Amino acid sequence: MMNQTCIIGRLVREPEVKELEDGKKVSNITLAVPRSYKNENGEYETDFIDCTLWGGVADRTAEYCRKGDLVGVKGRLQTNNYENEKGEKRKITEVIAEKLTFLSSNREILEKEGVNKTKEEDLEV
Protein backbone atom coordinates (compact mmCIF):
# COMPACT_ATOMS: atom_id res chain seq x y z
CA MET A 1 0.00 0.00 0.00
CA MET A 2 1.10 3.55 -0.59
CA ASN A 3 0.12 6.90 0.92
CA GLN A 4 2.03 9.69 -0.79
CA THR A 5 1.09 13.08 -2.20
CA CYS A 6 2.88 15.99 -3.86
CA ILE A 7 1.37 19.47 -3.80
CA ILE A 8 2.55 22.79 -5.23
CA GLY A 9 0.87 25.93 -3.93
CA ARG A 10 1.27 29.35 -2.34
CA LEU A 11 1.48 29.95 1.41
CA VAL A 12 -1.69 31.70 2.58
CA ARG A 13 -0.08 33.12 5.75
CA GLU A 14 3.31 33.57 7.38
CA PRO A 15 4.66 30.23 8.68
CA GLU A 16 5.11 30.09 12.46
CA VAL A 17 6.91 27.44 14.51
CA LYS A 18 5.60 26.24 17.87
CA GLU A 19 7.63 24.24 20.35
CA LEU A 20 5.68 21.49 22.07
CA GLU A 21 6.12 20.44 25.70
CA ASP A 22 8.33 17.53 24.62
CA GLY A 23 10.66 19.93 22.74
CA LYS A 24 9.50 18.96 19.24
CA LYS A 25 8.92 21.81 16.80
CA VAL A 26 5.87 21.97 14.54
CA SER A 27 4.46 24.38 11.98
CA ASN A 28 1.00 24.24 10.44
CA ILE A 29 0.75 25.86 7.03
CA THR A 30 -1.97 26.13 4.42
CA LEU A 31 -1.29 26.04 0.68
CA ALA A 32 -3.57 27.69 -1.87
CA VAL A 33 -3.73 25.41 -4.92
CA PRO A 34 -5.73 26.61 -7.93
CA ARG A 35 -7.76 23.98 -9.74
CA SER A 36 -6.88 23.28 -13.37
CA TYR A 37 -10.38 23.89 -14.68
CA LYS A 38 -12.98 26.65 -14.58
CA ASN A 39 -16.29 26.40 -12.73
CA GLU A 40 -19.70 27.07 -14.28
CA ASN A 41 -19.07 30.84 -13.92
CA GLY A 42 -15.83 30.62 -15.90
CA GLU A 43 -13.64 31.15 -12.83
CA TYR A 44 -10.84 29.05 -11.40
CA GLU A 45 -11.53 27.87 -7.86
CA THR A 46 -8.84 27.29 -5.26
CA ASP A 47 -8.34 24.46 -2.81
CA PHE A 48 -6.77 25.23 0.57
CA ILE A 49 -4.63 22.32 1.77
CA ASP A 50 -3.51 22.10 5.41
CA CYS A 51 0.01 20.76 5.96
CA THR A 52 1.96 19.94 9.12
CA LEU A 53 5.75 20.35 9.17
CA TRP A 54 8.06 19.00 11.87
CA GLY A 55 11.59 19.71 13.13
CA GLY A 56 14.10 21.30 10.76
CA VAL A 57 11.59 21.50 7.93
CA ALA A 58 9.33 23.62 10.14
CA ASP A 59 12.25 25.83 11.28
CA ARG A 60 13.61 26.55 7.81
CA THR A 61 10.20 27.11 6.28
CA ALA A 62 9.42 29.73 8.93
CA GLU A 63 12.86 31.29 8.45
CA TYR A 64 12.92 31.50 4.64
CA CYS A 65 9.31 31.46 3.42
CA ARG A 66 6.71 34.20 3.51
CA LYS A 67 3.03 34.54 2.72
CA GLY A 68 2.53 34.16 -1.04
CA ASP A 69 5.71 32.14 -1.67
CA LEU A 70 5.40 29.15 -3.97
CA VAL A 71 6.43 25.85 -2.35
CA GLY A 72 6.20 22.16 -3.13
CA VAL A 73 5.30 19.69 -0.39
CA LYS A 74 5.81 15.93 -0.55
CA GLY A 75 4.23 13.92 2.21
CA ARG A 76 1.43 11.64 3.26
CA LEU A 77 -2.25 12.20 3.93
CA GLN A 78 -3.45 11.72 7.49
CA THR A 79 -7.01 11.83 8.77
CA ASN A 80 -7.83 12.63 12.39
CA ASN A 81 -11.18 12.44 14.15
CA TYR A 82 -12.15 14.80 16.98
CA GLU A 83 -15.13 16.35 18.75
CA ASN A 84 -15.73 20.09 18.55
CA GLU A 85 -16.95 22.31 21.41
CA LYS A 86 -20.56 21.28 20.70
CA GLY A 87 -19.71 17.59 20.99
CA GLU A 88 -20.10 17.03 17.25
CA LYS A 89 -17.78 14.49 15.64
CA ARG A 90 -15.49 16.01 13.00
CA LYS A 91 -12.81 14.72 10.66
CA ILE A 92 -9.82 16.59 9.27
CA THR A 93 -7.48 15.46 6.52
CA GLU A 94 -4.05 17.07 6.24
CA VAL A 95 -0.68 16.49 4.62
CA ILE A 96 2.13 15.45 6.96
CA ALA A 97 5.14 16.89 5.13
CA GLU A 98 8.24 14.76 4.61
CA LYS A 99 9.93 17.22 2.26
CA LEU A 100 9.41 20.85 1.31
CA THR A 101 10.90 22.52 -1.77
CA PHE A 102 11.21 26.30 -2.07
CA LEU A 103 10.08 27.18 -5.59
CA SER A 104 10.08 30.94 -5.03
CA SER A 105 11.21 32.59 -1.82
CA ASN A 106 11.87 35.98 -0.35
CA ARG A 107 14.99 36.94 -2.33
CA GLU A 108 16.37 39.42 0.21
CA ILE A 109 16.38 36.88 3.04
CA LEU A 110 17.96 34.19 0.89
CA GLU A 111 20.70 36.49 -0.39
CA LYS A 112 21.36 37.80 3.13
CA GLU A 113 21.79 34.24 4.40
CA GLY A 114 23.96 33.24 1.42
CA VAL A 115 21.50 30.72 -0.04
CA ASN A 116 21.88 30.30 -3.81
CA LYS A 117 18.61 31.52 -5.36
CA THR A 118 19.21 29.71 -8.65
CA LYS A 119 18.71 26.30 -7.04
CA GLU A 120 15.67 24.81 -5.39
CA GLU A 121 16.18 24.44 -1.66
CA ASP A 122 15.03 20.98 -0.57
CA LEU A 123 14.40 20.15 3.05
CA GLU A 124 13.68 16.70 4.37
CA VAL A 125 12.44 15.44 7.71
Residue of higher predicted confidence among 53 and 117: 53
Q: Is residue 38 within 8 Å of residue 44, measured between CB atoms? A: yes
CATH superfamily of 5-36+44-124: Nucleic acid-binding proteins (2.40.50.140)
Please determine, for residue 117, whether its predicted confidence score (pLDDT) is greater than 70.
no
pLDDT in the model for residue 105: 60
Q: Is residue 7 within 8 Å of residue 31, measured between CB atoms? A: yes
pLDDT in the model for residue 104: 80
Least-confidence region, from 28-32, 57-61, 67-71, 104-108: 104-108
- 60: nearest Cα among 109, 1, 8: 109
